[in-house]
């Protein structure tokens, strides 16, 4: 099979584009898609310092690789989740990538810094393992970016991730979360700007890019992924995509072009500093501090926990928001 762009032999066929590419042209197409995403959403400005959240997986390492090649001032942040051999291997792979590219990597260990790991939080906390893991990542990435003076946090969310999140929120008509889902979330008080430059590229395309670039990444899934709702939504999207190539891109990219404007976004949320850590929150204590206190058996403030429906900005990056508990006196 011939490459669509040059006389070379194709190494990858992209059914949704009805095209095949050789190694060099595919890499060019991949990078063009990243540039297009960055340009369209004004993700990174001149002179911005970027912190990329790296997990050791294909997406975040491919993203770091492309951003370095494009000449951005980009450092990496790895968060140790304490998930046994999976975390050990992820850390090794990330560190060796950083060394091979002469890039700056910061490592934060959840257990060392905050006193718990993800398997323990999943067992002891009220949230599912993946919910507390996502919450912890968003909190630590934002805090590290604020402390390090970064302008932008970049994450490796790809088209499959975004389409699955949109599907999940649409299935339950979580209109407020649908409205907030975006490849670029502007900075707010105490919250660093967050961007997803891979949102136009599928999981398969990112895996192919990482492979063709010779990037060593962790292939195994996290061993705690079994209860992950997003995984089920991804499987559903993949089943539709298999019989109708292009649906996934049409669903998410179509949402950005034509659907998003239909969902009003509430912008009048007032953020105040968390009473424990000072990070911005809509409640008295931020979701991270509440989850951490629950896992460690500590109490924040006085009085019994009160469960209310509320929105927490720290939990808004992926559009997943859950009921939160506010520690304090119950209203009379």
Among Zn ion, ligand SF4, none, residue 228 binds (CB under 5-8 Å by kind): ligand SF4
- Asked if 205 is part of the footprint of Zn ion (rule: CB under 5 A), the reply reads no
Smallest separation (angstroms) from ligand SF4 to the CB of 147: 23
Q: Which of residues 90-149 bind Zn ion (CB under 5 A)?
A: none
Smallest separation (angstroms) from ligand SF4 to the CB of 49: 26
Rg (Cα) of the chain, in Å, rounded?
20
Angstrom CA distances, 144 to 36, 164, 190, 286, stand at: 27, 27, 11, 16
**∠ at Cα 251 (248, 257), nearest 5°?**
130
Smallest separation (angstroms) from ligand SF4 to the CB of 260: 25
By CB atoms closer than 10 A (0-12, 13-18, 19+), residue 214 is exposed
Q: Which of residues 13-42 bind Zn ion (CB under 5 A)?
A: 22, 25
Smallest separation (angstroms) from ligand SF4 to the CB of 233: 14
Half-sphere exposure of 218 (CA within 13 A, CB side): 21
User: For the chain, what's the residue count?
Assistant: 332
| DSSP annotation of 192 | -
Smallest separation (angstroms) from ligand SF4 to the CB of 86: 8
Alpha-helical runs (H) found in the chain: 23-40, 58-69, 84-101, 110-114, 118-124, 129-148, 159-171, 175-180, 203-212, 229-243, 247-254, 287-296
Among Zn ion, ligand SF4, none, residue 130 binds (CB under 5-8 Å by kind): ligand SF4
Among Zn ion, ligand SF4, none, residue 276 binds (CB under 5-8 Å by kind): Zn ion
Pick the closest to residue 58 from 253, 263, 201 (CA basis). Answer: 201
Nearer to ligand SF4, 27 or 229 (CB): 229
Among Zn ion, ligand SF4, none, residue 224 binds (CB under 5-8 Å by kind): ligand SF4
Q: What are phi and psi of 279, to 5 degrees?
A: -75, 155
Among Zn ion, ligand SF4, none, residue 225 binds (CB under 5-8 Å by kind): ligand SF4
Which residue from 274, 283, 293, 295 is in contact with Zn ion, where contact means CB under 5 A? 274
Which residue from 276, 312, 320, 325 is in contact with Zn ion, where contact means CB under 5 A? 276
Which residue from 5, 17, 174, 213 is in contact with Zn ion, where contact means CB under 5 A? 5
Nearer to ligand SF4, 27 or 238 (CB): 238
Q: Which stretch binds Zn ion (CB under 5 A): 6-14, 176-184, 185-193, 233-241?
A: 6-14
| Residues contributing to the site for ligand SF4 (CB under 6 A) | 118, 129-130, 133-134, 222, 224-225, 228
CA distance 293 to 49: 32
Nearer to ligand SF4, 225 or 262 (CB): 225
String marking each residue 285-324 x if it binds Zn ion according to CB under 5 A: -x--x-----------------------------------
Pick the closest to residue 132 from 118, 144, 145 (CA basis). Answer: 118
Smallest separation (angstroms) from Zn ion to the CB of 121: 15
Nearer to Zn ion, 90 or 136 (CB): 136
Residue 77 in contact with residue 105, Cβ under 8 Å? yes
CA distance 151 to 193: 7
Q: What are phi and psi of 193, to 5 degrees?
A: -55, 140
| DSSP annotation of 201 | S
Residue numbers at the binding site for Zn ion (CB under 5 A): 3, 5-6, 8, 22, 25, 274, 276-277, 286, 289
């Amino acid at each position: 099979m011939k490459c669509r762009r040059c006389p070379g032999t194709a190494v990858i066929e992209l059914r949704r584009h009805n095209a095949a590419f050789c190694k060099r042209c595919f890499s060019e197409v991949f990078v063009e898609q990243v540039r297009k995403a960055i340009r369209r959403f004004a993700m990174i400005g001149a002179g911005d310092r970027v912190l990329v959240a790296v997990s050791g997986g294909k997406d975040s390492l491919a993203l770091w690789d492309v951003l370095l090649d494009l000449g951005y001032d980009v450092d990496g942040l790895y968060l140790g989740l304490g998930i046994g051999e999976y975390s050990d291997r992820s850390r090794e792979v990330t560190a060796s990538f950083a060394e091979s590219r002469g890039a700056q990597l910061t490592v934060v260990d959840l257990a060392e810094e905050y006193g718990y790991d993800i398997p323990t939080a999943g067992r002891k906390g009220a949230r599912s393992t993946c919910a507390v893991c996502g919450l912890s990542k968003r909190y630590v990435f934002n805090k590290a970016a604020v402390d390090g003076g970064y302008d932008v946090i970049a994450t490796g969310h790809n088209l499959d991730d975004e389409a699955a999140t949109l599907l999940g929120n649409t299935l339950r008509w979580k209109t407020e979360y649908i409205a907030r889902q975006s490849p670029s979330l502007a900075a707010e008080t105490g919250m660093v700007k967050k961007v997803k430059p891979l949102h136009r590229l599928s999981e398969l395309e990112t895996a192919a890019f990482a492979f063709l670039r010779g990037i060593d990444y962790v292939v195994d899934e996290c061993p705690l992924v079994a209860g992950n709702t997003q995984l089920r939504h991804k499987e559903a999207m993949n089943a539709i995509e298999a019989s109708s190539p292009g649906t996934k891109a049409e669903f998410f990219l179509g949402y950005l072009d034509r659907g998003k404007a239909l969902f009003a976004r509430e912008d009048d949320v007032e953020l105040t500093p968390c009473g424990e850590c000072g990070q911005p929150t809509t409640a008295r204590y931020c979701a991270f501090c509440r989850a951490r206190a629950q896992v460690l058996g500590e109490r924040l403030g006085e009085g019994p926990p009160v469960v209310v429906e509320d929105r927490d900005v720290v939990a808004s990056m992926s559009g997943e928001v859950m009921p939160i508990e506010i520690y304090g006196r119950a209203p009379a």
